[in-house]
Every structure is written in structure tokens, then in C-alpha cells.
Amino acid sequence: MRLLTSRAVSVLLVSALCASACNETPSPSASASATVKPEPAATATAVATAAPTATADVTATAEPSASAPTATASATAAPTATAVTSAKPQTTSKPKPSATAVTSAAPTASASASSAPTSTPTTVELPTPAEGSADAIAVKVDKVFSPQKNFFSKFKQKLEQKVTGQKKESTGTLNVERPNKISFKYEPPAKNRVVSDGVTLKMYVAEDNQMFEGKVDSSAFAGGLAFLMGGLYKTMSFSFNEKADYKDGWVLIGKPRKPAATYEYVMFYIRKDLLEKGDAGCIERIVIVDAQGNKNRFDFLEAAFPKEVPASEWQFTPPAGTDIKKM
């Protein structure tokens, strides 16, 4: 697959908003080929930079001890089980080999068990933030959005690429239904589409006649859309942006509690008056900044908590002849 064009990146960067919404589930052979062939892996990274699949990759890289033992455990589990099964009929005639076989199974089982705690870091309870701190404001935002199931807003998107200086602006509508349905509809002349029906995430890039398709995970959203899931404080740590010229409230800088490939930090522009009212528009703007310094800005307009979202919002079929890429 060729490298993404800058226009493709424009729409794919939107999925940095939901960095943990999807997990890539590659086959062992795919993982091996990614290691042997760096160029395809780089292309996958380009897609992953915009797609939630990057989160899975970064987690594996950041915590190799968790990934490796798990893979080893699952790989050795089958032969170990066979060893235990074959050991049973040998118990009477050959107790020593049988005991050895069972003993060899035990370390594998413990390896499996020992890997489990590393896969559930979200169970750690976070301390209550100090009153008036940036973290405390994030908690207040979570209290506004946590009880809500649906969210709607018009948006204005502005993408700025640091190296080239290229800028691209677009508009559209955003719908979200918790836990993992999302829909970005771009207005003409753009024909791009980002949609998740709760099972599959589709990212259609009209300019390239391509659609990237991946499996949706049930994990909480992270990145820019974390506020919609009531998960700001649990996914990020916050500080105030003292340099920002924003008189309507605060600008918080949110950095991921775990390293994320899709973004370095997110700036949240929070209106004080609307936050106090519990209004859906209390998050007026977000700016996602990645490791290369590229900025992806979204301004939210006419935000609301609708009672229902039409089922058609989560459905999308690309035009005939579209090149569909699996993530």
C-alpha cells in the first residue's frame, strides 16, 4: 500500500480523536512480515498515526514484557495441555515422567496468570485532584458527559502540517453514541466519511478512492473524544495553558497517561459558564498535536445531547470500485 497523501491524512487524522476505539488484531504472519519488511510497516504506521490501531502497537512497544509473555504463553499453552493430557494415562506406569509433564505445564500456566495483571492498568484508582487544579476541571467535564449516551455537534476542522505548512479546512457534523458508535459526515466538496457501527470502523478517503476498515474495541475512547466518554481524567493528566489567549474559561493541556502514537497532547478550550450549566457545548474547541508538531483543530458548534440518533447514521457503503484496506 502506498504512502498516504496529505489529503488522505486530513481525514484520517480525525481518528486520533478516538485513539483507543479500535484494536488491530493481526495474524502472527502479519506481525512477522511487519518485522521483516520495514517499508510496509512504515505505511501501516502512517495509517496507524491516524487510526486507533496505533494504540495497540504502542502499548505492545511500551510494554514488551506484557506482550511477549502473553504470546509465549498462548503459544506454549497448547502443547502443555497436550502434555498434561498425555501424562494422565502414564501416571500408573511412569509416575516420574507424568509428574515432570505436569510440572512443565505449571510454569506456563503461571506465565499466563502473571501476564494478566499487566493487561488491566485501568483498574488503578486515581487520586482526587486538588480543588481548582486543571485535573479538577477535567473531572467536572467528566461529570457533564458521563451520564449522557448521545452527542451531536457541527464542527469546523482545520489541519496544519508543520513541515509543509499546508493547511486544510473542512466542515461537517459529528454524532456519537456510547460506548463506541461514531459518525463524521463531511460537507461538500469533501466526500470523506468516518463511521463506526459499534462493530466495524470505516474511514473513507474519497480523494484516494480508498477505505480503511478495522474492528472496534469496547474500550473507552481516548484522545480528543475522551470528554464525550466521560473519560478525560482517567486517560490524561492536565495542566493549564497559561499562554493561551482565551477569556471565556480555561485551556487545558491533556497528556496521555500512557504513551500514544496518534498524539502528544490535546488542548481543550473549556467555557466556564457552560461548564457550570452542564451544557454540551462546554468544550468549545480541541487541538490535537502529534509528535511531528502537526495540529488537528476542531471547533464544536450547536452541541447537544439528543435523546436518539437515527440508525442510518452508523451505516455507510463506499462507492463501487473503492479499494478497501483492512487494518
pLDDT digits (tens, 9 = 90+) for 82-117: 333 333 444 444 444 444 333 333 444 343 444 444
Whole-number pLDDT of residue 270: 98
Characterize the bridge pairing of strands 210-215 and 323-326.
Answer: parallel
170-214 pLDDT tens trace: 999 999 999 889 999 999 988 899 999 999 999 999 989 999 999
**pLDDT over threshold 80, residue 18:** no
**pLDDT over threshold 70, residue 246:** yes
Characterize the bridge pairing of strands 167-177 and 150-160.
Answer: antiparallel
Q: Where are the domains of the chain?
A: 1-327
Cα 325 from Cα 327, distance rounded (Å): 6
Whole-number pLDDT of residue 101: 38
124-166 pLDDT tens trace: 689 999 999 999 999 999 999 999 999 999 999 999 999 999 9
Whole-number pLDDT of residue 318: 94
Whole-number pLDDT of residue 226: 85
Cα 301 from Cα 303, distance rounded (Å): 5
21-25, 73-77, 291-295: range with highest mean pLDDT: 291-295
**pLDDT averaged over the chain?**
73
Comparing CA positions, the residue from 153, 182, 253, 178 lying closest to residue 18 is 182
- Is 48:261 a contact under the CB 8 Å cutoff? yes
71-92 burial by CB neighbour count: b if 16+ within 10 A, else e?
eebeebeeebeebbeebeeeee
The partner residues of 160 in beta bridges, in order of sequence, read 167, 295
Cα–Cα distances (Å) from 131 to 33, 135, 139, 156, 256, in that order, read: 51, 9, 10, 33, 21
Q: What is the mean predicted confidence (pLDDT) over 215-226?
A: 68
48-89 pLDDT tens trace: 333 333 333 333 333 333 333 433 333 333 343 333 333 344
- ∠ Cα 211 213 218 (to 5°): 145
- Is 296:14 a contact under the CB 8 Å cutoff? yes
Q: Which residue has the higher pLDDT, 258 or 78?
A: 258
Q: Which three cell numbers stand for residue 282?
A: 462546554
**pLDDT over threshold 60, residue 12:** no
Q: Which CATH fold topology does 1-327 show?
A: outer membrane lipoprotein receptor (LolB), chain A (2.50.20)
Amino acid making up residue 121: P
316-327 burial by CB neighbour count: b if 16+ within 10 A, else e?
bebeeeeeebeb
- Is 282:153 a contact under the CB 8 Å cutoff? no
Q: Which residue has the higher pLDDT, 18 or 78?
A: 18
Q: How far separated are the first and last CA of the chain, in Å rounded?
A: 12
Whole-number pLDDT of residue 114: 42
What is the CB neighbour count within 10 angstroms for residue 179?
A: 15
pLDDT category of residue 123 using cuts at 50, 70 and 90: low
Whole-number pLDDT of residue 217: 67
- Residue 149 CB partners (closer than 8 Å, separation 6+): 177, 178
Whole-number pLDDT of residue 32: 36
Whole-number pLDDT of residue 90: 43
